[in-house]
């Protein structure tokens, strides 16, 4: 086993491939501003995700923030607190009020049975999150959105390449945000994207990420920012996209071994598998229910660290427990999200993780239950 095992590790293409991909930049001098690699990656992602439009951004947070901004919303947005802080902060930075809906207790996605009771005449949108690659109830969300005339903007940072009943997840809702951060299943080192089908949004997104200016004109019709993806980042994406199926296949082996070792143990709760979903195996979350065994999440984490194995409390704290949320008066009770957040760990999961290391991690965990 390696000296240290971290919860995530970036997938990288062969160095020679990346060098070959960036070599012509020294001839063209094009490093940014929607260059040829940016354009090619956008096209390749539209093909891979089988979606009509992809707009690339410097990171996933800016993609989500500008996606919301493009809709010129006001009022309240129903969302989940069981997510990374970016989701909630993108809502806040658009001057919108987050209204927190609790989650399901099995896959930790937003509980659609609780959404309608939160809808008011101020509700303008729903921002659900595909958590750990677990897909939201997209069919129910579509029904609710249509019934009340709401936008649905998915945070799909964990769901790159996944399908539900054969349809790529990029094609649900008004738009979906993907993160291409270094630790994601598909990465451009830093980067992100929005998928959508509305033709008129292409120009708007291009303007919003380029200081509000329409590309190749002098028009500035929007209040924008600098959210462009560089050619260097797009080049990494082009290289990694060639290997994405291999990365996912390697992750699948890791997850299947975890499941084989950890399933059906008292006090250890795993997410169910949805046969309608083609997974990307982004993360492997485990909830440790100490009331059944006396073994809690912190004990597991400390024991693993003795062996230089580093896990993550992800997501902890839930975003409605953030101090700023309480100061703004947006706090609300979400007991299931709180319960899961206090007990969940994501275990190491990445394409280059050796299976013998997975066995070692499981041995350490299960050893605590045998003492």
User: Which 8-state DSSP code applies to residue 272?
Assistant: P
| Model confidence at 1: pLDDT above 50 | no
pTM, whole model, 2 decimals?
0.96
Closest of 281, 301, 286 to residue 349, by C-alpha: 281
Angle at 131 between CA 128 and CA 136, to 5 degrees: 50
Maximum C-alpha span of the chain: 71
Residue 361 · residue 21 · CB < 8 Å: no
pLDDT, tens digit, 9 for 90 and up, residues 257-289:
999 999 999 999 999 999 999 999 999 999 999
- Give backbone dihedrals phi and psi of 141, rounded to 5 degrees, phi first: -60, -40
Closest of 301, 306, 338 to residue 319, by C-alpha: 338
Contacts of residue 142, Cβ cutoff 8 Å, sequence gap at least 6: 152, 172, 173
Average pLDDT over residues 107-129: 98
Q: What residue ranges do the domains of the chain occupy?
A: 15-240, 243-370
Instruction: Give me the architecture of the 243-370 domain, per CATH.
Output: Alpha-Beta Complex (3.90)
Residue 234 · residue 188 · CB < 8 Å: yes
Residue 154 · residue 173 · CB < 8 Å: yes
Closest of 131, 133, 132, 130 to residue 153, by C-alpha: 130
pLDDT given at position 371: 62
- Give backbone dihedrals phi and psi of 61, rounded to 5 degrees, phi first: -60, -50
Tokens 């500008």 sit on residue: 66
Residue-level length of the chain: 371
| Model confidence at 2: pLDDT above 80 | no
pLDDT, tens digit, 9 for 90 and up, residues 14-39:
999 999 999 999 999 999 999 999 99
| Model confidence at 252: pLDDT above 50 | yes
Topology classification of domain 15-240: 3.40.640
Instruction: Judge residue 344's burial from the number of C-beta atoms within 10 Å of its C-beta, 0-12 exposed, 13-18 middle, 19 or more buried.
Output: buried
DSSP letter string over 149-192?
Answer: T-EEEEE-TT-TT-EETTEEGGGSSSEEEEE--TTSSS--SS-E
pLDDT, tens digit, 9 for 90 and up, residues 288-333:
999 879 999 999 999 999 999 999 999 999 999 999 999 999 999 9
Residue 160 structure tokens: 């790159």
How many other C-beta atoms can be found within 10 angstroms of the C-beta atom of residue 273? 12
Distance of CA 267 to the CA centre of its chain: 27
Nearest-angstrom CA–CA distance, 337 and 195: 28
| Model confidence at 105: pLDDT above 90 | yes
| Model confidence at 171: pLDDT above 70 | yes
Whole-number mean pLDDT of the chain?
97
pLDDT given at position 177: 98
Distance of CA 146 to the CA centre of its chain: 25
Task: Count Cα neighbours of 236 within 13 Å in the Cβ-side half-sphere.
Answer: 18
Least confident of 74-78, 113-117, 191-195, 292-296: 292-296
- Distances in Å between the Cα of 166 and the Cα atoms of 42, 49, 132, 186 are 22, 11, 19, 20
Nearest-angstrom CA–CA distance, 24 and 39: 15
């Amino acid at each position: 086993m390696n000296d240290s095992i971290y919860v995530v590790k970036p997938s990288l293409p062969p160095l020679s491939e990346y060098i070959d991909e960036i070599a012509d930049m020294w001839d063209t001098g094009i490093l940014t501003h929607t260059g040829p690699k940016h354009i090619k990656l956008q096209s390749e992602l539209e093909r891979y995700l089988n979606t009509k439009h992809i707009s690339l951004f410097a990171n996933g947070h800016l993609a989500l923030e500008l996606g919301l901004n493009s809709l010129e919303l006001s009022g309240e947005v129903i969302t989940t607190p069981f997510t990374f802080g970016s989701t909630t902060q993108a809502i806040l930075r658009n001057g919108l009020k987050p209204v927190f809906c609790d989650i399901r207790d099995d896959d930790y996605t937003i509980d659609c049975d609780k959404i309608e009771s939160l809808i008011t005449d101020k509700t303008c949108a729903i921002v659900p999150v595909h958590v750990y690659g677990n897909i939201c109830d997209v069919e129910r969300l579509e029904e609710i959105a249509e019934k009340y005339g709401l936008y649905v903007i998915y945070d799909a940072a964990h769901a790159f390449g996944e399908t539900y009943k054969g349809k790529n997840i990029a094609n649900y809702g008004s738009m979906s945000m993907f993160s291409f951060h270094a630790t994601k299943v598909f990465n451009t080192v830093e980067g992100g994207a929005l998928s959508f089908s509305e033709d008129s949004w292409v120009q708007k997104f291009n303007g919003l990420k380029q200081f509000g200016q329409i590309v190749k004109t002098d028009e500035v019709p929007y209040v924008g920012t600098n959210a462009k993806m560089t050619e260097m980042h797009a080049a990494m994406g082009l290289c990694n996209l060639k290997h994405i199926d291999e990365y996912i296949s390697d992750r699948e082996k890791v997850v299947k071994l975890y499941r084989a070792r950890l399933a059906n143990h008292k006090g250890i709760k795993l997410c169910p598998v949805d046969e309608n979903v083609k997974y990307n195996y982004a993360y492997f979350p485990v909830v440790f229910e100490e009331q059944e065994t006396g073994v809690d999440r912190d004990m597991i984490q400390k024991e693993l660290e003795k062996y230089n194995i580093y896990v993550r409390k992800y997501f902890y704290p839930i975003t409605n427990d953030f101090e700023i949320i309480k100061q703004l008066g947006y706090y609300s009770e979400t007991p299931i999200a709180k319960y899961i957040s206090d007990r969940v760990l994501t275990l190491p999961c990445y394409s280059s993780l050796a299976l013998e290391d997975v066995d070692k991690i499981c041995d350490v965990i299960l050893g605590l239950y045998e003492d």
